[in-house]
């Protein structure tokens, strides 16, 4: 079967097409709320040239942020826009992925994990520069960019 391979981190039991379909069900509603069209949080330079070894650290940081901050604080909007089902599908599948990621902590991996951390901090920095609600809406609406990046590691 197919699985995610973020370098040494393997994740089975998540069907990427189900995540896409959940996002597409709510895409236009969610992205229509984002009127700051001149800012993109998950910019190309953040996502470009992520090495296999780096990918596990990077996706772990991103998913942790999405689960702890974005999904958690976007929930009220999800109720308002009646997209709870898609919201739950994505949140729970991201939780599955994150629970199966085991980024290595050995010293020799320090420089790699630091690269990944710098990338994540670029994203988080852009997030913090926006007004809180606008940032949540934008990040939630950029999950297609995140899924597109994750797709490269789905084999």
Partner 1 sequence: DGAAVLPAPQNLSVQSTNMKHVLTWSPVMVPEETVYYSVEYQGEYESLYMSHIWIPSSWCSPTAGPECDITDDITATVPYSLRVRATLGSQTSAWSTLKHPFNRNSTILTPPGMEVTKDGFHLVIKLEDLGPQFEFFVAYWRREPGAKEHIKMVRPGGIPMHLETMDPGATYCVKARTFVKAIGRYSAFSQAECVKVQGESLPL
Partner 2 sequence: IAEDNSDLLQHVKFQSSNFENILTWDSRPDSSPDTIYSVQYKKYGEREWLAKEGCQQITRKSCNLTVETGNLTELYYARVTAIDAGGRSATKRTDRFSSLQHTTIKPPDVTCIPKMRSIQMIVHPSYTPIRTGNGHLLTLEDIFQDLLFYRLELHINDTYQMHLVGKKREFEFIGLTPDTEFLGTTVIFVPTWSKESAPYMCRVKTLPDLTWT
Out of 25, 67, 100, 144, the residue judged to bind partner 2 by CB under 8 A: 144
Per CB under 8 A, 151 contacts partner 1: no
Q: Which partner in partner 2, partner 1, none is near 89 (CB below 5 to 8 A by kind)?
A: partner 1
d(C-alpha 28, C-alpha 36), whole Å: 15
Out of 61, 93, 124, 137, the residue judged to bind partner 1 by CB under 8 A: 93
Number of residues that bind partner 1 (CB under 8 A): 23
The smaller minimum CB distance to partner 1, of residues 18 and 131, is found at 18
Q: Name the one range near partner 1 by CB under 8 A: 27-35, 47-55, 64-72, 123-131.
A: 64-72
The smaller minimum CB distance to partner 2, of residues 88 and 144, is found at 144
d(C-alpha 101, C-alpha 119), whole Å: 18
- 3-state secondary structure string, the chain? CCCEEECCEEECCCCHHHHHHHHHHHHHHHHHCCCCCCCCCCCHHHHCCCCHHHHHHHHHHHHHHHHHHHHHHHHHHHHHCCCHHHHHHHHHHHHHHHHHCCCCCCHHHHHHHHHHHHHHHHHHHHHHHCCHHHHHHHHHHCHHHHHHHHHCCEC
Site for partner 2, rule CB under 8 A: 16-17, 20-21, 24, 27-28, 31-32, 34, 37-40, 43-44, 141, 144-145, 148, 151, 154
Site for partner 1, rule CB under 8 A: 1-2, 12-15, 18, 22, 67-68, 71-72, 75, 84-85, 88-89, 91-96
């Amino acid at each position: 079967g197919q699985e995610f391979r973020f370098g040494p981190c393997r994740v089975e039991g998540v069907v990427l097409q189900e995540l896409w379909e959940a996002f597409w069900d709510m895409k236009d509603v969610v992205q229509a709320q984002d009127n700051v069209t001149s800012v993109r949080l998950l910019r190309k330079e953040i996502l470009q040239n992520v090495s296999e070894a780096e990918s596990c650290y990077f996706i772990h940081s991103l998913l942790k942020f999405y689960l702890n901050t974005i999904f958690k604080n976007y929930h009220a909007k999800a109720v308002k826009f009646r997209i709870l089902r898609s919201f739950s599908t994505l949140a729970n599948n991201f939780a599955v992925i994150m629970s199966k990621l085991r980024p290595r902590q050995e010293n020799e991996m320090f420089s790699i994990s630091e690269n990944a951390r710098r990338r994540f901090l670029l994203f988080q920095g852009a997030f913090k520069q926006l007004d809180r609600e606008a940032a949540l809406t934008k990040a939630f609406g950029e999950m297609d960019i995140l899924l597109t990046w994750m797709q490269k590691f789905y084999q």
